[in-house]
């Protein structure tokens, strides 16, 4: 690594699942010289990661305003301030539009709109001038995917909030951007990612010929947090060009999986 984040003090929320995007990003930040506080809802993985990278951790549910404030205070107490903040949380709900319940919608809004809004509020109250905020969005905030309306709508909404932050806090040199991965093998997509036919159904829609990796997304987040980045208020489409095309439909995914199963049985 090149020390692109030397001296930076970072919060990464959503790093409590082994091998998820938050953890991959935290390791890259630490390798680039940042002091990193990792946060989420499960203490065991957070403590292990913090010990591994020489950082700190905080238990934090993004839907709890008090816990968000305490997390930021822990970063300030541990490192003396906050320069970088990344929200990697999300809930990949897949439900047909007419089947979404009020309970699901309220939970989704709490997790992917109100929570991130208040996360960035809490961070900005302490963030040093010249800092950087990154929201993990999704290619589906721009292009379609079946049965994903609540997820897609809240991701698109918080992307627009990021633009307002960029506009309001640019005078302090603070940048705010989103990154939008497409289908990625991760703990959130573990079942689908283990099926080569499903992965292949997505990959054929990607101009670069493959689906993304967590490292692809973490690299984009890292660059957005470097002083070399002169970008704010944007959604960086880190998805191999899938937004130039489309996601496969449910019917196409099912057909690909059935065809692969039939081929295996025939062989």
SS (H, E, C) 109-157: HHHHHHHHHHHHHHHHCCEEEEEEEEEECCHHHCCCCCCCHHHHHHHHH
Please tell me the predicted confidence (pLDDT) of residue 1.
Answer: 57
> For the chain, what are the domain ranges?
9-187+212-244
Phi/psi-derived region of residue 67, left when phi > 0, alpha when psi is between -120 and 50, beta in every other case: alpha
pLDDT under 70: residue ranges of the chain: 1
* Residue of 151, 169, 183, 206 marked catalytic: 151
> At 129, which helix (H) or strand (E)?
strand 127-136
Please tell me the predicted confidence (pLDDT) of residue 187.
Answer: 79
Instruction: Please indicate whether residue 206 is annotated as part of the active site.
Output: no
Please tell me the predicted confidence (pLDDT) of residue 188.
Answer: 76
Q: With beta carbons less than 8 A apart as the criterion, state whether 91 and 108 touch.
A: yes
Q: Does domain 9-187+212-244 correspond to CATH entry 3.40.50.720?
A: yes
Please tell me the predicted confidence (pLDDT) of residue 82.
Answer: 98
Please tell me the predicted confidence (pLDDT) of residue 208.
Answer: 98
Please tell me the predicted confidence (pLDDT) of residue 193.
Answer: 86
């Amino acid at each position: 690594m090149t020390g692109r984040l030397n001296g930076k003090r970072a919060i990464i929320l959503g790093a409590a699942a082994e091998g998820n995007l938050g953890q991959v990003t935290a390791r890259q930040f630490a390798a680039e010289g940042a002091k990193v506080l990792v946060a989420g809802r499960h203490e065991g993985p957070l403590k292990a990661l913090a010990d591994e990278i020489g950082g700190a951790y905080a238990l934090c549910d993004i839907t709890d305003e008090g816990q968000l404030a305490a997390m930021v205070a822990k970063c300030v107490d541990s490192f003396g301030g906050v320069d970088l903040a990344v929200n990697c949380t999300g809930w990949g709900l897949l439900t047909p539009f007419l089947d979404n319940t009020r309970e699901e919608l309220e939970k989704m809004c709490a997790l992917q709109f109100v929570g991130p809004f208040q996360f960035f509020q809490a961070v900005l109250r302490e963030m040093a001038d010249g800092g950087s905020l990154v929201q993990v969005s999704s290619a589906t905030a721009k292009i379609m995917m079946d049965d994903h309306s609540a997820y897609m709508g809240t991701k698109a909404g918080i992307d627009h909030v990021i633009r307002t932050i960029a506009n309001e806090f640019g005078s302090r040199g603070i940048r705010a951007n989103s990154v939008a991965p497409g289908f990625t093998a991760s703990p959130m997509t573990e079942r689908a990612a283990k099926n080569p036919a499903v992965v292949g159904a997505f990959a054929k829609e990607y101009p670069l010929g493959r689906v993304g990796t967590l490292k692809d997304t973490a690299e984009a987040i890292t660059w957005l947090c470097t002083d070399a980045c002169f970008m704010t208020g944007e959604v960086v489409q880190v998805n191999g060009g899938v937004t130039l095309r489309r996601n496969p439909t449910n019917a196409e995914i099912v057909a690909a999986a059935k065809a692969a199963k039939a081929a295996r049985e025939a062989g």
